Amino acid sequence: MTGSSGERSAEREIVRGKRLDVTIADVTGAYEGRIGALWEMLMGEQIHVGGEKETDFLAKLAGLNGNHHVLDVCCGLGGPARQLARIYGCRVTGLDATKRMVDEAVLRTERAGLGELVAFRLGNALDMPFQAGSFDLAWGQDAWCYVTDKARLVREAYRVVRPGGLIAFTDWIQAGTMADMEWTALNSFMIFPYMETIDGYVRVLEDTGFRVLMAEDLSEPFAGHCRLYQHKLRTELKGVITREYGAGLYRAAEEGLRGWVRAADERKVGRGRFIARKG
């Protein structure tokens, strides 16, 4: 038993040390263009697993209400921000590094008549343009996997949340070990510098000063979601993607997603849900 847990922690160190040479410019470049559009086609306006249902679930777990000011870190098109404001009556500020995403988020929020409660800022999650203690809750959904330094992001979240406030997020995670080639293929396809593990996130949260209330492994349902996205790509979206973006992009998406479905089925990749309290 001791031997196997020792092996596991050694594996974790290997996972934690590895990084792809991905920069924020690579990620924003992709979201400025057709990759961003493709993700919206595949997942909808809320670009995370589970859509509105998941947003509602996380909001309930975090106990959101109309007195809260939420910071949505890597907010994308602002779909979750609008849902939180509409249903829970809270104020939400969305932060995202891609101008096209922020512009779209602002436009869609104005159209929805939610401009009083929801605002957006262009900026980097690693250098949040907010004063200490500005928010009740730092929020994130399936986006921090793009961020090159998760520990620094969590430290920034800790700084901008008030004492007693929360951090609540889901993210794509590395769930098992794999050969270098597969690791590189999976992360490059998604433009992820690396993924955290569940234990890795717990450690990052605790090292920062958060008290972890929940660290849930959602890797099993994640595999089912990946298969659904693959089915949608192959059926509903094949024609439109090929027509609008070319057969090459369709083939790349098909191949990349096939690798993710396989890795998710083998529990090498997955997803986690985390809630922690400051102080």
Ligand X SMILES: C[S@@+](CC[C@H](N)C(=O)[O-])C[C@H]1O[C@@H](n2cnc3c(N)ncnc32)[C@H](O)[C@@H]1O
If one counts every other C-beta atom within 10 angstroms of the C-beta of residue 12, the result is 16
Using rule CB under 6 A, residue 96 touches ligand X? yes
Note whether 75 binds ligand X by CB under 6 A.
Answer: yes
Total Cβ atoms within 10 A of residue 248: 9
Any contact of residue 143 with ligand X (CB under 6 A)? yes
97: contact with ligand X by CB under 6 A: yes
Give the one residue of 74, 118, 190, 263 binding ligand X; rule: CB under 6 A: 74
Q: Which parts of 113-132 interact with ligand X (CB under 6 A)?
A: 124-126
CA distance 30 to 258: 20
* Secondary structure element (H or E) that encloses residue 62, with its range: helix 51-62
Contact map string, positions 216 to 235, toward ligand X, x by CB under 6 A: --------------------
Which of 260, 256, 248, 191 has the alpha carbon at shortest distance from 223? 260
Positive or negative CA dihedral for 159, 162, 165, 169?
A: negative
Q: What is the DSSP pairing of strand 210-217 with strand 161-174?
A: unpaired
**Minimum CB–partner distance for residue 246 and ligand X (Å):** 23
Contact between 242 and ligand X by CB under 6 A: the answer reads no
Window contacting ligand X (CB under 6 A); options: 42-50, 180-188, 215-223, 245-253: 42-50
A 10 A CB-CB count for 179 gives: 9
Cα–Cα distance for residue pair 172/197, rounded to 1 Å: 9
Q: Could you tell me how far CA 277 lies from the centroid of its own chain? A: 19
92 binding ligand X? (CB under 6 A): no
Q: How far is the CB of 137 from ligand X (least distance, A)?
A: 14
- Interface stretch with ligand X, choices 94-102, 180-188, 231-239, 264-272 (CB under 6 A): 94-102
What are the residues binding ligand X (CB under 6 A)?
24, 27-28, 31, 46-48, 74-77, 79-80, 95-98, 101, 124-126, 141-143, 146-147
